[in-house]
Amino acid sequence: MVISANQQVTREWWESRRYEFELLVSEVVREEILRGDPAMSIRRSELVKGIPVLTPNDNVDGLIRIYKSSLGLPLEAAADIAHIAYANGAVIRRLQRVNEEIGIKTPTIVTPYELLYSKEGGENG
């Protein structure tokens, strides 16, 4: 039931809020999209069509190695570790520097639920 509710929130976010954000995907996300039910994989692939893809680089690969060895997370969390590494290695540091210079907040990693229902632009805000 929780998984179904999370999927519904994610669908709502993609339908109603995605255009409020600059979206990027990684190869890890693209691989996850292809898993599971083939019809749903096609549907998910269509949703991310045209979204810029982050390419792997030494910074991201290094962070993945460090996070895997330091965080003590199970093997099942490998994709989540990669998501965090991409956000930190490929985007966040540059954004922090630029954002500090121009006086704006740096984005954080959040779930679709948080995006849909956050005070900063969701139904509760």
pLDDT tens-digit readout, 11-24: 888 888 888 888 88
Cβ neighbours of residue 109 under 8 Å, at least 6 residues apart? Answer: 83, 84, 87
Q: Which residues, 6+ apart, have CB-to-CB distance to 106 below 8 Å?
A: 92, 95, 96, 99
Q: Give residue-wise pLDDT tens across range 55-100.
A: 888 878 888 888 888 877 787 888 888 877 877 665 666 767 777 8
**Global pTM?**
0.59
